[in-house]
Chain A
Amino acid sequence: MIHVSNLSKSFRDKRVLNNISFDVPGGSIVGLLGPSGAGKTTMIKILTGQLSYDGGSVRVFNEEGGADENAGTEARNLTGRDKLRFGILMDNFGLYERLSCAGNLKVFADIYGVPHSKIRPALQSVGLEEAYRCSAMNLSKGMKSRLQLARVFMHNPDIIFLDEPTSGLDPKSARAVCRIIEEKKKEGATIFLTTHNMEEAARLCDKVFFLNNGKIAEEGNPIEICRRYEAEGRIHIEPSYADILEAVFLDITGKEAREEI
């Protein structure tokens, strides 16, 4: 579904991505992990044709989208058909602040040719049905994130790019979002996401890439990576109060979220 080979990207003299190659098979959830500034957002921007790159090639949907190495590659010019198959969430993608939640989705439903009857279910799926008429500017940060997610998923894209989909969300909403992501995978979508939440990465992703210093430092199934590192004695696992606290949070805010997962 996504095929990247020898991809390089520099900002002035700073090399952010250095000769990176990887594949994302169709129908899987792949996570891109790494410290702040590692180039995760940069990678998503390149894959979605929002940013040019310096060398290598990028292919999405089996269509060649880049030139040969050293050719000075422009931001990929996605065809209209490709764009309609994409769902993209970036943290800086804004909302129409003065329009209601439904109004925001209506604009994009019309663009994507989605019937208006799908708007209410889309809001329901992210727990915003009660905010149907609420102006986007009156939403909390977490509610805004969820409205953005509803916008990403509404047209049932084949390939979904999510840049930190759960950042800023409370644990319950974050789990709800993870559940939607898993549902979309069941429906056959391919999902490429970044996250700083390792628990989420472990639970959701079929495969993760650790990006560090411009290179992929580690890749594979998250559980297998954990087992391997533990077996090799490179890590030592202790019980975590963070997990316990999160369980407490879920217990207080409602059991249904926990039970559904």
Chain B
Amino acid sequence: MKNILVIIRKQLADTLKNKTILIQFILFPVLTVVMENAIHIEGMQEMFFTKLFAVMYIGMAPLTATASIIAEEKEKNTLRVLMMANVRPFEYLLGVGIYVWTLCMIGAMVMMMGVTGDRRPAFLGIMGIGFMISILAGAAIGIFARNLMMATSLTMPIMLILAFAPMLAMFNDTIRKVAKIFYTLQLKEILDGMNPREISHASVMIIFANAIVLLGAFIFAYQRKGLD
């Protein structure tokens, strides 16, 4: 328990100095606030940018941040030092996961400024679930990759699919049908409705299936590579 806090504190100390990660966390929240306030087009869907960027945020920030934190720590061998100092793998992973999730949730709260009051809990709930699934995917990549470079090249295509499929799906029906199997598109459609009572069973099942598949990938990567 104490070690989880140590890991979170270490990451916090690192955040302000780690520009590549920091930009991941603040890019979409800032973009959302700016676009929502600057652009108003006749007939545009309500909270268009908030919903779009929220899903892109889910598909990018937690995924790349988690993967690169773990991969860098492996590459520099600091993870080995932590393990030799009796930090257990689950403590480390939980610490990183909680840290990434918390920062993303702060970003989500910034994005939430354009969301009307009664919908805010639903918005945060959806974001929180999305972040968790993405963190799982990021952790699987970070564990599987041998170094930071490999992590980046593995993250890139997955991130593009998860983050951009929901946007492309708005313009192309074929893409929409295919992309429906990804949790980000499902979350986007739930965000569009933003009504917990309207969420379909199918959506829940698909998101759940995504989480299970990624949990499987995470366990596979962990069993194959461990944390060393």
Q: Using a CB–CB distance below 8 Å, which chain A residues touch chain B? A: 48, 50, 80, 83-84, 86, 88, 90, 92-99, 103, 106-108, 110-112, 135, 151
**Which residue from chain B places its CB closest to the CB of A89 in the assembled complex?**
B81
Contact (Cβ within 8 A) B14 A108: no
Contact (Cβ within 8 A) B76 A95: yes
> Which listed residue (B3, B13, B80, B86) contacts A103, Cβ 8 A?
B13
B85 on the A face (CB < 8 A): yes
Provide the residues of chain A in CB contact with B81, threshold 8 Å: 93-94, 108, 151
Provide the residues of chain A in CB contact with B13, threshold 8 Å: 99, 103, 106
> Which listed residue (B2, B9, B77, B85) contacts A92, Cβ 8 A?
B77
A48 to B76, CA, bound (A): 19
> Which listed residue (B6, B78, B80, B86) contacts A110, Cβ 8 A?
B6
Contact (Cβ within 8 A) B84 A83: yes
B17 on the A face (CB < 8 A): yes
Contact (Cβ within 8 A) B17 A135: yes
Closest 6 pairs (CB-CB, A-B): A94-B76, A83-B86, A98-B17, A94-B77, A110-B6, A94-B78
B26 on the A face (CB < 8 A): no
B82 on the A face (CB < 8 A): yes
* Contacts between chains A and B (CB distance < 8 A), count: 57
**Which residue from chain A places its CB closest to the CB of B86 in the assembled complex?**
A83
Majority SS of interface residues in chain A?
mixed
> Which listed residue (A48, A92, A135) contacts B84, Cβ 8 A?
A48
Can you report 23 residue pairs joining A to B where beta carbons are below 8 Å apart? A48-B84, A84-B85, A92-B80, A93-B77, A93-B81, A94-B76, A94-B81, A95-B78, A96-B78, A97-B76, A98-B14, A98-B17, A98-B18, A99-B10, A99-B13, A99-B14, A106-B13, A107-B6, A108-B85, A110-B2, A111-B3, A111-B6, A111-B87
Looking at B10, B17, B78, B85, the one whose CB has the most chain A CB atoms below 10 A away is: B85
**Which residue from chain A places its CB closest to the CB of B91 in the assembled complex?**
A111
Contact (Cβ within 8 A) A93 B10: no
A111 to B6, CA, bound (A): 7
Provide the residues of chain A in CB contact with B14, threshold 8 Å: 96, 98-99
Provide the residues of chain B in CB contact with A103, threshold 8 Å: 13
A106 to B14, CA, bound (A): 13
Provide the residues of chain B in CB contact with A98, threshold 8 Å: 14, 17-18
A90 to B10, CA, bound (A): 22
B9 to chain A, nearest CB (A): 7
Provide the residues of chain B in CB contact with A90, threshold 8 Å: 77
**Which residue from chain A places its CB closest to the CB of B16 in the assembled complex?**
A98
Name the interface residues of B1-42: CB closer than 8 Å to any CB of A.
2-3, 5-6, 9-10, 13-14, 17-18
A39 to B82, CA, bound (A): 24
A170 to B76, CA, bound (A): 24
B220 to chain A, nearest CB (A): 21
Contact (Cβ within 8 A) A96 B10: yes
A140 to B84, CA, bound (A): 25
A112 to chain B, nearest CB (A): 7
Provide the residues of chain A in CB contact with B76, threshold 8 Å: 94-97
Provide the residues of chain B in CB contact with A108, threshold 8 Å: 81, 85
A95 to B18, CA, bound (A): 15
**Which residue from chain A places its CB closest to the CB of B6 in the assembled complex?**
A110
